Structure 1
Amino acid sequence: MRIGIIIRDEEGKALVAECDLKNNVVNAVVAESLVLRKASELCSELNIQEAIFEGNAKEVVEAVLSEEEVVLDYSSIIEDVKFHFRNMTHWFIQFVSRKKNTVAHTLANKALEIGEELVWIEEVPDFIVGCLLDDTNCNT
Structure 2
Amino acid sequence: MGVGCIVRDHQGRFIRARSKVVHGRLQPREVEAMGLREALSWIKDWRSHRCVFECDAKQVVDAIHAEEWRSYFDTIIGDCKDILKHSNEVLVVFGSRSANRITHLLATATYSMSDSQEWLVSAPDFIMYDVTAEAALN
Q: Under a length normalisation based on structure 2, what TM-score does the superposition of the two structures give?
A: 0.92
Specify every segment of 5 or more residues in structure 1 that has no aligned partner in the other structure, as ranges. Answer: none
Which segments of 5 or more consecutive residues in structure 2 lack a partner in the other structure? none
- Tell me which residue corresponds to 1:28: 28
Match of 2:100 in 1: 101
2:134 matched to 1:135?
yes
Corresponding residue for residue 3 of structure 2 = 3
The one-letter code sitting in structure 2 at the alignment partner of 1:106 is L
- Match of 2:72, SS state, is coil
Could you say if the C-alpha distance between residues 52 and 109 of structure 1 is closer, same or farther in structure 2, counting changes exceeding 3 Å? same
Cα–Cα, structure 1 residues 136 and 86, in superposed 2: closer, same or farther, change >3 Å?
same
Q: What pairs up with 1:115-126 in 2 under 5 angstroms? A: 115-126=114-125
Report the TM-score when normalising by structure 1: 0.91
Structure 1's consecutive aligned runs of 4 or more residues displaced over 6 angstroms after TM superposition are none
CA contact (8 A) 1:20 1:115 kept: no
**Corresponding residue number in structure 2 for 1:38:** 38
State, as a whole percentage, how many aligned pairs show the same letter. Answer: 26
In structure 1, C-alpha distance between the alignment counterparts of 2:27 and 2:14, rounded to whole Å: 29
Matches of 1:13 and 1:4, distance apart in 2: 17
Indicate the SS of the match to 1:74: helix
CA RMSD of superposed structures (Å): 1.4
